[in-house]
Amino acid sequence: MKTQTTIKNIKYFELYNNSIIRIDETSFSVGKILFQKEVSDYIFLFNGVLSKVSGNKTYEYKNDEFNLIETKLSIPMFLGNDTWIEYESREDGNVDVRFVECGKEYLFSLKASKGIHWPKYDKNTSILLLSEPNESYVIACTKTGERLWEYKEEDENLKINGRCIPVVDDVVVVISLYGAWPKKIQGFNIRTGERLWIIQSEARHEPDTFFLGEDKMLYGCRGYVVKPGIGITKLNPFTGELNVSLIHEDEEFDFMPWNVTMHDRQLYFVDNRRGNEIGVIDVDKRELVERVPLNIKKKVTIGAPVVTDDKVYVFIDDLQELRVFEK
């Protein structure tokens, strides 16, 4: 890849439908469309949905404008276009939930003694997955509030990774962590909660975050493994078969598994060692196939690249700079 352009003095960056979102103190833009902004306004891009929160009002971006949506319980968390969830904990250990999908509202209460967090919605089965803020349990329920099953992590030394609960067809993958390292990975039937397989991990090479490939396999990578290098992992969600290998074994890499982007059959990361570089891993070849130095003089930490079919975007927050690479 090669540098196409560098955009300076950019305080915030997201990419929405191939349009760059820029935010300043009094305005923000989506591509070439400029909007006025109050100091207290918040702009969010989550699950592919762009929204604006202004006071106690929430707006969803559609057809080049922000449209007010009706909320009742809380600021909504969007789970897809025209689909969101609101929830509010009660003192009796229940959580009031409002789920809206394409204009249809579902109201129910759910027993969740410690509250819920990181909601995920599987549209294929119409099932909600709700994890606990301290990541000790996962609750599966229908969008009408019927409780299907619950998995509770009994080992007090482990926490469920609520940020990453992949769903592949009828399989839910739950990752239990010891610190930042997977200690236990399990597959469950999304409708019944039946455990299909379990992996007890001691290798400390596996990532805590997986990405779904078009072949329905899960892929991930991490740097700073026990032995210097990069750990590449392929997980079959239907059988629990785990394939882990190390590449570039004599060199340490500084990036976290959640700061990775998968596009097509490649994983993209930014190495945060001084100078920084973009790394590209081919999951089929299981090789580091491209390395692009960023040559940054200041010591900075960079998150996951944003990748499209023809471009790679790297936002350097410390420098308020966006670099755009052409594949």
Per-residue pLDDT of the chain (327 residues; tens, 9 = 90+): 887 789 888 888 899 998 989 888 788 999 999 999 888 889 999 999 999 999 889 999 999 999 999 999 999 999 999 999 999 999 898 999 999 999 999 999 999 888 888 899 999 999 999 998 778 899 999 999 999 999 999 998 999 999 999 999 999 999 999 887 889 999 999 999 999 999 987 656 678 999 999 999 999 998 876 678 898 999 999 999 999 888 888 788 999 999 999 999 999 999 999 999 999 999 999 999 999 999 999 999 999 999 999 999 999 999 999 999 999
Q: Counting every residue, how long is the chain?
A: 327
pLDDT digits (tens, 9 = 90+) for 218-246: 999 988 766 788 989 999 999 999 998 88
Q: Which residue has the tokens 């090669």?
A: 2
Q: The pTM is what?
A: 0.91
Residues 6+ apart with CB under 8 A from 193: 140, 148, 149, 150, 151
Torsion 292-235-223-158 (CA) sign: positive
pLDDT in the model for residue 248: 83
pLDDT in the model for residue 147: 95
- Count, in order, helices (H) and strands (E) of the chain: 0, 33
CA 119 from centroid of its chain's CA atoms: 12
pLDDT in the model for residue 84: 96
Residues 6+ apart with CB under 8 A from 197: 186, 187, 239, 240
- State how far the Cα of 49 lies from the Cα of 46, in Å rounded to an integer: 5
- Burial (0-12, 13-18, 19+ Cβ within 10 Å), 302: buried
CA 115 → CA 5, 132, 158, distances in Å? Answer: 45, 6, 18
CA 278 from centroid of its chain's CA atoms: 19
